[in-house]
Structure 1
């Protein structure tokens, strides 16, 4: 549906970007095992002081995660993919809005994704296809 298949994995991701994505893959997978409130708490700390990510930065991070991991590229990899992409953006000082929610049309579909400029990145669906349940947006060091 909204995720690429393993056969459609992104190409053209630089070696350095792949290495950074590989470095963040294990923390993203570990973080994906935590309960939602813990994930939110960790991400709220991680995003502190970051600038909002551009669509290009967010798409490049998402592509890098899909390029290095079959799990992230697969249909059930949305949570580690979105977590890894957000953390990868953070390495460069930016932060996309990390979201988790549900699709608004049947069948019920829980999903996690990243947004930039208020739009889902790399999902291939209309902007209003998902309803957010949890969102962690960039914020300043002072907490605003």
Structure 2
């Protein structure tokens, strides 16, 4: 996490507005039931190219620089949704994940990944990141999945 005193204050107005929009939508979407949130996130991921680690880290930094509450322990869901939305505003999509810890007591967590690795989750040591993925929304290419669905 970014110490609040070291947050990036030299962001452009366009970046600030886009980040605020993503934060607002992230807070709203995080209050939705899990099934609805998954459907919304899947729709938003359509047609986006996969985000690189650098692009995802830039979105994480932007979200954390714009909002002090996003640094909290219970803010992982709105933070991860906001980061995914911030990436989507740039035409990319990270892999958005939710899951539970492998250790006791079980704890829920939400995060974003790029190139198969969590982004913005501490020191980057994969061994310390011990969560089992329960829900994954990866970037979807419309050319691969198609846009039309047929009803049976």
More displaced 10-residue stretch of structure 1: 63-72 or 51-60: 63-72
Q: How many residues align?
A: 141
Preserved contact between residue 2 and residue 61 of structure 2 (Cα < 8 Å)? no
After the TM superposition, which residues 93-132 of structure 1 pair with which residues of structure 2 at under 5 Å, given as runs? 93-124=91-122, 125-126=125-126, 129-132=130-133
Local SS of the residue matching 1:77: helix
Match of 1:14 in 2: 11
- TM-score, length-normalised on structure 1? 0.88
TM-score (norm 2): 0.84
- Residue 80 to residue 13, structure 1, CA distance change in 2 (3 Å): farther
Larger Rg: 2
List 4+ stretches of structure 1 deviating above 4 A.
none
Secondary structure of 1:115's partner? strand
Q: Unpaired runs of 5+ in structure 2?
A: 147-152
User: Which segments of 5 or more consecutive residues in structure 1 lack a partner in the other structure?
Assistant: none
Aligned CA RMSD, in angstroms, stands at 2.0
Instruction: Report the counterpart of residue 63 of structure 1 in structure 2.
Output: 61
- Who is 2:30 aligned against? 32
